Structure 1
Amino acid sequence: MPTFKTLDDLGDITGKVALVRVDLNLPMKDGSASDVTRVEAVKPTILELSEKGAKVLLLAHFGRPGGKRSSVLSTSMVVGDVEGVLGKELMFIPEVSGPVVEQSIGILRNGDIGVLDNTRFWPGETDNDPDFAKAIAAHGDFYVNDAFSAAHRAHATTEGITHFLPSYAGRAMERELKALDSALGNPEAPVAAVVGGAKVSTKLDVLKNLVGRVQHLIIGGGMANTFLAARGVDVGKSLCEHDLTDTASAIMDEADHAGCTVHLPYDVVVAKEFAANPPSVRTCNVHEVAADEMILDVGPQATEALGDVLKTCRTLVWNGPLGAFEIEPFDAATVALAKTAAALTQDGSLVSVAGGGDTVAALAHAGVTEDVTYVSTAGGAFLEWMEGKELPGVKALSA
C-alpha cells in the first residue's frame, strides 16, 4: 500500500486554514437529505480539525452542474443537514476562491467551519485546471482529502490541489485505504470474492483483475446467467448477455490457469414473471429451467455450499447481490450468505470488505452492515479499485 500522511502527522494547527475535500453529494427529498451516511463518515475528521483550532473549509461537489452555477445544486442546499450531523453552526461561502473566501476566513474564529460552494460550478474542477486548483489552494495552509468516493476522479480538488499544499488523508480515507489494503492489497489467503449484479459488461475489468488475485470467485446476479450460458446451460428467458458468452468462457479459462475456482449456482430460484412472491416461483436444478422461466436467485443448496466456501477463507471482498434482492423471495441467497459472512467476521475468522451501492443496500437489508469488517459507500471508486486501477486522488496523497 502506498504510504500517505494522516492527521497524526499534523503539528500545531491552531489558526491554520484546513481545506478539506468531503463528499456532500447527498440524495435529496423534499429539500433535505434523505441519507446523511456520507456526512457521518467525515464527521470525525471535521470535528478533530475543528477541536484542534483550525479554521475548516469544506470543499465538495453536488450533482452535475456542468461548469455553471445552479441554485438547486448549490452546497447551501445541504448545509442544514451537515449542521445537524456535526452539531455545529456552519458558515456558507458562495465561492471557492477570491476575495469573498478571503473575507470569510477573516470572520471565522479558530475551530469554526465553513462550506464553500459546489466546486463543479467552475469548469476548472473537472478539467483539473492547475490555475483553478492553485487559486483554491491559495486560501489554505494544508489540504485533507476525506472523500474516497471521489478519489477515482483526477479533479482540481482531489488531485490538482495536492501540488500546491501539504496533503493528508482524513480519517475516513485512512480507514478506507487500510480496509481495502487488507482485502486485496495484502490479504490473508484464501481470498474469496463475491461479484454480483445484472451485467457482465459492467464488471468485466473487475472479473479479469480478480481471477489472478483470489482463490474463489463467486458469481451471482444476472451476470451468473451469462456464465451458465457459456457452460451450455439453457437459461430460459433470464437476463443474459449471450454476446458475451465467449468472454465469460475466457475468464473461466483464465481463472483455471490462475488456480482460482469459479463458483456458479447449480440450483436456482426461477419464476415466469418478475414480481414479489409470484405463483410461478420454484426452485430447480440449473439444467431444468423452462423456456418461459427466468433465474432470479441462487438456490438454497448452492447458497449453503457457498457458505461452506467462505468458512475455508480468511478474506472476503463483496460487490453486488446474488439475486434480485429487492424483491422477495429473491433476496434469500444474498441474505443467507451475508449472514454467514457476518458470523464468520464476528468469530474473527474472516476479514470482510464490501462496497458498491447495491451491496450496501443488500447488507442493510440483511441487517449485517455493522457485523462485517468494512462497508465502502464509495460506488465508482470502489469498483475502480476492484478493477486494479490506480486512483488519482489516492496517488496524489502518497508521501
Structure 2
Amino acid sequence: MATKKSVSSLNDADLKGKGVFVRVDLNVPLDDNFNITDDTRIRAAVPTIKYLMDHGSKVILCTHLGRPKGVTPKYSLKPLVPRLSELLGVQVKMANDCIGEEVEKLVAELSDGGVLLLENVRFHKEEEKNDPEFSKKLAALADVYELDYLVGAVANPKKPFAAIVGGLKVSTKIGVIESLLGKVDILILGGGMMFTLYKAQGYSVGSSLVEEDKLDLATSLVEKAKAKGVSLLLPTDVVIADKFAADANSKTFSGAVEERAKRVFNKLKGKPQKSLADVLREYNLPPGLFPQNVKCYELDESKGKLIVYLPSVCEVCFKDSSILRYATRVKATLSRGKLTGIEGMKTKVIMWVKVSSVTVESYKSDKVWFTAGVKKTRPKDAYEMPREAIQVEEF
C-alpha cells in the first residue's frame, strides 16, 4: 500500500532523481489571443513545484484547462509554458499528450530538477470518467505522486473549523461538500456554483450560469447543512454586468459575508449573537415584528443597517388580524423606535401594500405606526412575540 505523506515531509532521499507526478490546478482564464488574464492558480502551484525541483525531482505536471470535448486546440496548455517557465526560473518542457510513448520518452530525458508539463488531461474522455486503465498509464510515468489540486483535507480539525469551496458547478463538488458537512462548523461556497444555490432558494440570478437540473440537489445541500448545524455562507458581493467582457457596463453590489462569518465564529466560541427579537426590544420596537423562522440577520450598528434573512417568502397573521408578508431578505435602517427605508415587507390593506417604515413614538406608547402608503396605528401588544409564518408563493 502506498504511503501518504505531505510534500514538506519528503527529503532528498525520497525525491532526488525520482519522477514526481503532480496533479495541479492550472485552469487559468485566457483571452481571445490566448494571453493569461489571471495567473493566480499558476503562482499558487509554484511553491510545491519549486520544493520538488530543489530536492532534485523530475517534476511531471498534470492539469486540465476548460471542458474540451476531445482534442481541442483552444484548450491546449501551450500558452501557459512561458509564464510557468518565468515563475520557476527554468525552461518548462511541453508534451503533446499526457500519455503514450512520446510522453514516456520526454519523462526519461528529464534531468534532475527539470519540469515537464503534460498536455490537457481532459483531451482524453477517460479522465472525467475516472477510468482505471487511463489512471495506470498516468501512474506509469512517475515514482511519487502529489495531489496539489485539492489541498487542506483534514482528519481531525481543531474547532471551530471553516472551509471554503469554490467552483463553477455544484454537481462537480457534491462529494467534497458532503464530506465537509461532516467536519466543519462553517462552509463558505463561492464561484459560479453560488448562482445555482441562490436560485434554489428563490433568488433571481439573471442570465448567470445555473445548473437547472441540479436545483433539487442544491436545496438538499442547504437542508443537510442545516440538519448538521453547519453555517452555510454564500457570497454577498457580486458584480452585475450586461455582458461577460472587460468593457461591460457593470455595477458592484457589496454585502457582509465577512461580518456574518465573524458572528458565527463568535457564537461557536461562546459569544452568542443576540436574537433578533432581543435587538428589536432594545431599540424599543416590537420583538414580534419578524416571524419565528428568521434564518439570521446582519446588523451594522455604526450605520444602523439591518438585513433579515428568511428561508422563503412568507406571511404572518397577528392577533389583531393584521397580516405582514416578508421577502426572503428584508432590509431597513434601525434606530431608536424606528425601522425606516424598509425593503421586503408588505401588509394587507384591502390589497397588498409595501411597508416603508415602522415606528413607536415613545417607550410608554402602546401603539405602533405602520407607514404603507398612509400612516396608521396598530396595537403594540399584537407584535409582542415572534409568530410562526406560513410559506407563500410570491412576494
Provide TM-score, normalisation by structure 2.
0.48
Higher strand share: 2
Higher relative contact order (CA 8 A, sep 6+): 1
Higher helix share: 1
Q: Specify the structure having the higher radius of gyration (Cα).
A: 2
